Amino acid sequence: MGISLEDLAPAVPVVSIRVPEGFIYGPTVLQPTLQEYDETSKNGGYSDVTDENGNGLGIPPPPPLDVLDRFKGTFKGFGFNTIFRPLSRNPKTITKFPNPPTDKSTSNLLQLNLTGETQVFSEILLKDVPNRGLFDQADIDLIGRPYTQSIVDAMPDEKGNFPENPPVIHFEPGLWMRVPQVEDMPELAASFCRMGSIPHGTTINAQGFEPARTSKGAPKIDPTSITPLEISQLGIPPIKPHKTVTELKEKRFDNQDADKDTTRRLPQDLRKFIANGSITQQIIDDPNTILRQANEGKDIVENTMFIVSTNAPPGAFGGGTSNIGFNIGSDEGKKAEASREKKSGNANAVDVTAQYWVSKIRIEVELDPSMSVGQTVSPASQGPRDAVPEFFIDEHVEIPSSKKVVIVAYDQIQYSQMVMLDFNGLKWPHVTVATLAPIVSLEKPTLSSAIEYGKGSSN
């Protein structure tokens, strides 16, 4: 018996990040206001303009959220996760494979997961987050919003059964922030910043100093690769966003071959997934294939792309990852032939780069006389694992006397994330991709706002 795509579309929990009304982030009462920004002061700073009583003229406007303004409410969808993880030979935690492995590599296990996902973004902004400048550098304000990301496993067990409550395989609370341009100390472009905490013992600070780029039509999504890279024992070239890592030699493993069912991979036998098209050799070689497939047949008006990375580009600073001792060890995972005597690390998450595409999509929704205010409505799905938006019918929606099709528009979020795990002298790509659409959260998004958004759409 095959595996249906319906079985591979599990329910996903929505983890609240709701910030209550009246939660106002701001500077201390001991210095309640930053002084007024004017055109004579440096970008990202404040002037010394005061009124006749010597008081500052108020808090200036924060930097624009840019594309992050579209990260609000709850988004839900589906994706794919690949991870080469360390393979323990300790009898207490040994992995039992359905088929005895015949591949030679014993250090790693390639795990493949079809996934369901939600991302929840706070409706309330953190508007006035003051960072104080030193000497001639003026104070600056950051702005942003909290988020949670929850990813569940959509895979069946080795007997083909699907759990009633699928396990959450990734959970990440964090913050999306905008940092203004600074022209004094240090001179930096405005940036996007994602700060996240992962239960496995890793925290990330990923920055994007390049401006978001908007283009007409569907996004052009380049291929990505999961093939591991050999670490030079003399040093590790940094992973750079926008560029392929050509400095390091690739090392392909047998468990990357979809048709081999006796390798150290879970699941070992991919025939049922190949048959329904959910996991194929093309998808293993390039997980971004799933993102391109998700856009097929959609009326994508425009898309906005931006990248964040834990590695700052030349001339910029900051960012990075931090890991617990179990992960990093004494060698940060850089040395081959890991051992107890060397106090080697188990899996050091050293690099994170994530590319996002936020697309404006136009679609038809059918209304009928049986509908009423308070209900939700969705467009027709293109398949069980299609990310389908939900809309709340509010009092501004005119319920028709007969069936009527209306044009609406919504924002779709897609991302491709590459985490490099260093262990046993290799860099092991951990790639996660997903396509997400807004669902109703706190009676948002409303259908009337989606209809208005659709009216402004044009190719």
**Weakest-pLDDT range from 9-23, 193-207, 231-245, 406-420:** 231-245
Tokens 């390798």 label which residue?
A: 263
Check: CB of residue 323 under 8 Å from CB of residue 347: no
Displacement of CA 179 from its chain's centroid (Å): 19
Check: CB of residue 110 under 8 Å from CB of residue 97: no
According to the model, what pLDDT value does residue 236 have?
A: 45
Q: How far is CA 214 from CA 127, 190, 218, 304, 416, in A?
A: 25, 17, 11, 4, 17
* Cis check: omega of the bond before 267, within 30 degrees of 0: yes
According to the model, what pLDDT value does residue 49 have?
A: 45
Question: Is residue 241 predicted with pLDDT exceeding 60?
Answer: no
For the segment 349-401, what is each residue's pLDDT rounded down to a tens digit? 999 999 999 999 999 999 999 999 988 999 999 888 999 999 999 888 989 89
Q: What percent of the chain has pLDDT over 70?
A: 87
According to the model, what pLDDT value does residue 33 have?
A: 58
Query: d(Cα 298, Cα 51) in Å, to the nearest integer?
Result: 55
Residue 265 in tokens: 């991979």
**First and final C-alpha spacing in the chain:** 44
For the segment 268-296, what is each residue's pLDDT rounded down to a tens digit? 999 999 999 999 999 999 999 999 999 99
Average pLDDT, the chain: 87
Question: Is residue 192 predicted with pLDDT exceeding 80?
Answer: yes
Nearest-CA neighbor of 133 among 57, 35, 209?
A: 35
Residue 325 in tokens: 């001792």
According to the model, what pLDDT value does residue 45 have?
A: 47
For every residue of 264-321, DSSP letters joined together read SEESS--HHHHHHTSS-HHHHH-TTHHHHHHHTT-EEEEEEEEEEESSPPTT----EE
For the segment 109-136, what is each residue's pLDDT rounded down to a tens digit? 999 999 999 999 998 899 889 888 888 8
According to the model, what pLDDT value does residue 130 have?
A: 87
Query: d(Cα 392, Cα 450) in Å, to the nearest integer?
Result: 10
Average pLDDT over residues 412-434: 96
Q: Who wins on pLDDT, 331 or 412?
A: 412
Q: CB burial class (10 A; 0-12, 13-18, 19+) of residue 407?
A: middle
According to the model, what pLDDT value does residue 84 have?
A: 97
Question: Is residue 42 predicted with pLDDT exceeding 60?
Answer: no
Check: CB of residue 242 under 8 Å from CB of residue 213: no
If one looks up domain 66-360+414-438 in CATH, what number appears?
A: 2.40.128.20
Domain ranges of the chain: 66-360+414-438
Average pLDDT over residues 299-304: 98
Question: Is residue 37 predicted with pLDDT exceeding 60?
Answer: no
pLDDT band at 24 (very low <50, low <70, confident <90, very high): confident
Q: Who wins on pLDDT, 32 or 453?
A: 453
Who contacts 208 (Cβ-Cβ below 8 Å, separation ≥6)?
A: 191, 192, 193, 241, 306, 307, 308, 309
For the segment 43-85, what is each residue's pLDDT rounded down to a tens digit? 454 444 444 555 544 444 567 899 999 999 999 999 999 999 9
Check: CB of residue 441 under 8 Å from CB of residue 74: yes
pTM for the full model? 0.90
According to the model, what pLDDT value does residue 443 have?
A: 60
